[in-house]
Amino acid sequence: MKMNIKFDYNIICKAVLQEQLDGLNLKYKLNNLGEIHFNKHLTAKELESLTLAFGKYGIEILANPQNVLVERIKDLITELINDSEKSRKYNVSHYLSDTLNYSYAHLSSIFSEITYSSIENFIILKKIDLAKQLIIHKNLTLTEIAHELNYSSVAHLSTQFKKTTGLTPSAFQRIIKKRQEIE
């Protein structure tokens, strides 16, 4: 038997963080965008325990403020792309600048310096990942997917999809349908 599920990474991550932090009896407050505020400075032993506990789940403690900013940028972009209503309402550069209180030029510079890629390229990759998920898990037409992801046209979506994956969205759909028929 095969079952498809949908899950929210943010909810899962918050649950894991809460479970691990509660297990270590630390007083904390979870904020959005991957921030945890502690009521006191952590001892070296507490920090080591926390690092080990988080590491089991692939969660890394970021010490470099630039890395933290890049992760916040990625989180905000992911949140924006996954919320089609919000993504139609906001321009990404304005959204990032307004939310993080930095100029877009500064954010773009830091992002490129840390990731060796542009914010625009990250946005395209996230949109194409979501397009693949929509093709796999929803019965949407390419027109509906293009609209959902705020593309100006199906041709624009198709061009970026092919450039990123090497396949057209239609070819990807056919491959997925064949796999599902086999299973």
CB atoms within 10 A of CB 41: 7
What are the two backbone dihedrals, phi and then psi, of residue 172, each rounded to the nearest 5 degrees?
-60, -45
pTM of the model: 0.70
**pLDDT at position 180, please?**
80
Range 2-31 burial, b when 16+ CB lie within 10 A, else e: eeeeeeeeeeebeebbeebbeeeebebeee
Written as one letter, the residue type at 45 is: K
Answer yes or no: are the C-beta atoms of 118 and 96 closer than 8 Å: no
CB atoms within 10 A of CB 73: 24
Provide the angle, in degrees to the nearest 10, between the axes of the packed helices 104-115 and 92-100: 90
Q: Say what the pLDDT of residue 32 is.
A: 65
List, for residues 76-98, the tens digit of each pLDDT value.
Answer: 999 899 887 777 788 899 999 99
Q: What is the pLDDT of residues 139-150, one digit of tens each?
A: 788 999 999 898
pLDDT of residue 160: 95
Residue ranges, the chain, pLDDT below 70: 32-33
CA distances from 46 to 36, 51, 55, 56 (A): 14, 8, 14, 16
pLDDT at res. 181 = 82
Q: Topology of 122-182 in CATH?
A: Arc Repressor Mutant, subunit A (1.10.10)
Can you give the pLDDT at residue 7? 76
pLDDT given for residue 28 in this prediction: 87
In this structure, is the dihedral angle defined by the CA atoms of residues 75, 123, 177 and 147, taken in order, positive or negative?
positive
pLDDT value for 33: 57
Q: Where in the chain is the domain with CATH 1.10.10.60?
A: 122-182
